[in-house]
Chains A and B, each alone.
Chain A
Amino acid sequence: MKVKTKNVVSSTEKMLHIVFHIVLSALAVCCLYPFLVILGSSFQSQQEILTSGYSAIPKEFTTEAYKLIFLSPKSIIDAYNVTIFTTLISTVCGLFLVSTCGYVMSRNDFAYKRILSMYVFFTMLFNGGLVPTYILMTRGFGLKDSLLALIIPGICSAWNILLMKGFFKSIPSSLIESAKLDGAGEFQIFTRIVVPISKPAFATVGLMLTLDFWNEWFNSLLYINDPSKVKLQYLLITMLRNVEFLNSPEAQQYGVLTGMETMPTMSVRMAMSVLAAGPILLVFPFFQKYFVKGLTLGAVKG
């Protein structure tokens, strides 16, 4: 903990302090304001956006955009289901892989520690690239249009293994030694002693993984053709295109839009991003202490 000694603070230092506050709060506002505008304009009407632009405070409050999205809620509900399901499974599997490997690497008495570290670290430096991975996933495993293609990639990264290893390093080796003397096997030591005392580590890495998988969309783009199996973020990309199509002259010419006025495309876009980002933005600030704690434990040094 920081202890602030009460000294006579010179006026320049006071000025400096004020400048810091100004800079930090300006940047903080830059980070927050765009989200307020997105939220606000999701409640604006198309007419208002066109005449006076996006705004954080709508002049006339309308839920037209949300109504339109939930007119046919199937695709968005599907996407929510797929996202929640795959995120959960990926996070659990990822935590398992990352923690087991990180734990073994943290054990100084493990004879093959150096080889294992090299083996893990090498994956950070070198990779085959997009094409062979794509061929392996589709041709090798036949995972085109499979939910597994959304679950498996990226659950076990070298970066997270090293992060976990950093956490486990702080466990005193005497604890493990004494458990061994009591006749506990390695597996037991891991599940009964190491896991329970490393809950903050699991929380941190688990949250990071959850965040990554919630925001992931690239694998849907690559591997999924079936529209009922895509993730939320990807649906956002495709929906944008569809909404634009409905307003295009071609669509109107073919009577897709008969009997309706122009669609509120601009507020629909914003409403969609509120729906896709909202859950994360509501939940994560409450968990950020784990984020920070995780990094504070000096883990990043690997």
Chain B
Amino acid sequence: MRLEKRNVLGRRNAGIRRFRKNLPLLLIALPAIIYLFVFNYIPLYGLVLPFKNYQYSKGFFGSEWVGLENFKILLNNKQVLIATRNTFFYNLTFIIVGTCVAVVLALMLYEMTSRFVKVYQTMLLLPHFISWVIVAYVALVFLDMDAGLFNGVRKLFGAEPILWYNSPKYWPPLIVIFNVWKSMGFSAIMYYASLMGVDQELFEAAKIDGAGKLKQMWHIAIPSIKPLIITLTILNIGKIFYGDFGLFYNLPQNSPLLYSATDVIDTYVYRTLTVLGDMGISSAVGFYQSVLGFILVLLTNWVVNRIDSDNALF
């Protein structure tokens, strides 16, 4: 009995001692811990919001519970379905095309001398430095009905100008192209940086064994950046139900005619919130966005863990 008690006390003392010893470091991290708590953890109460009929005037606790009412409305809403479909497939395409382009670019950059790398880098990074607002103007330069470059070329060949901002069918490829255009430089440099860390001797050895450039890339370069590719892909899969608001709000100029091709969950939530002022629906959409994303990350990580546990995120 007494011995046990002493043990418990001893353990508690050890705990306190450990706390004291780590207190200074804990204090250093405290501002960030508080920030994350306030701006990332407190908004999690929003996961309860869709089960309530939230009214701004009544506040969170004053609003009454409505159970699954908001979700029922959601399931019967065609726009939500379209927005979800768009979000998912755009992001999936971004992940696949974006990663492939970036890896290929990185492999090419790796073969260049450092002087050329610098030049290419500077130019490829330019789109990364501007906001989607400006990218929308870049798009306008190409797609403007009267003065755009695309229609200018069509005019040269005597073809009818296309009303780009009225025709949803052109937008899926356009959105993918502009997204890749904006992001390829930065991701390529990320992979390039990772390639720079690869031991040179591996390449030398392969060369002596008679492997050509392409073989070296396939058997040495790509495997060595595989961990980074996997990490970034898992993180991106977690965000697969989050549309890039900046892209989808600005690039199609928020044109209602294009919603069928360009509306994503985030622009839909924004519209229901600002135009209709409907907190129930928009928070219900937010809820299923969060939950689906979370499940997907766990799932992907589980799969990666099964195949190659070294590269799993956790």
Q: Which residues of A contact B (CB under 8 A)?
A: 2-5, 7, 10, 12-13, 16-17, 20-21, 23-25, 27-32, 34-35, 37-38, 41, 49-50, 53-54, 96-98, 100-101, 103-105, 107, 110-112, 116, 119-121, 123-136, 139-140, 152-153, 155-156, 158, 161, 185-187, 190, 211, 215-218, 233-234, 236-237, 266, 269-270, 273, 276-277, 280-281, 284-285, 288, 291-292, 295-296, 298, 300-302
Contacts and interface: CB of A to CB of B under 8 A. Distances in A.
A221 to B, nearest CB: 9
A298 B212 CA distance: 27
B24 to A, nearest CB: 4
A136 B129 contact: no
Nearest to A19: B108
A155 B36 CA distance: 10
Interface stretch (B2-10, B27-35, B91-99, B168-176): B27-35
Interface centre among B113, B129, B140, B227 (most CB of A within 10 A): B129
A32 B123 contact: yes
B147 A54 contact: yes
B141 A38 contact: yes
A7 B207 contact: yes
B179 interface: no
7 contacts: A100-B31, A104-B26, A125-B293, A130-B269, A131-B282, A277-B131, A296-B196
Contact of A291 (B28, B113, B125, B294): B125
Contacts of B273: 130-131, 134
Q: By CB atoms of chain B within 10 A, which of A12, A17, A127 has the most?
A: A127
The dominant DSSP class at the A interface is: helix
Nearest to B214: A16
Interface of B: 18, 21-22, 24-29, 31-33, 35-36, 39-47, 49, 56, 59-60, 105, 108-109, 111-114, 116, 119-127, 129-131, 133-134, 137-138, 140-142, 144, 146-149, 151-152, 181, 184-185, 189-190, 193-194, 196-197, 200, 204, 207, 212-214, 227-228, 231-232, 235, 238, 245-246, 250, 266, 269-270, 273, 279, 282-283, 285-287, 289-290, 293-294, 297, 314
A163 to B, nearest CB: 11
Given A24-B109, A32-B126, A215-B131, A100 B44 contact: no
A123 B36 contact: yes
Interface of B is mostly: helix
Nearest to A37: B141
Contacts of B214: 16
Q: Nearest 7 pairs between A and B by C-beta?
A: A132-B46, A129-B286, A128-B43, A101-B32, A128-B46, A215-B131, A186-B24
A215 B314 CA distance: 33
B25 A107 contact: yes
A209 B214 CA distance: 38
A216 B131 CA distance: 7
Contact of B28 (A32, A128, A186, A276): A186
Contact of A133 (B35, B46, B190, B314): B46
B147 A127 contact: no
Contact of A128 (B32, B47, B235): B47
Given A17-B111, A97-B35, A273-B134, 16 more contacts: A21-B112, A29-B123, A32-B126, A107-B25, A128-B43, A133-B46, A135-B60, A139-B59, A216-B131, A217-B131, A217-B246, A218-B246, A280-B129, A288-B121, A291-B125, A296-B193
Contacts of A266: 144, 147
Given A27-B105, A54-B148, A130-B269, A110 B131 contact: no
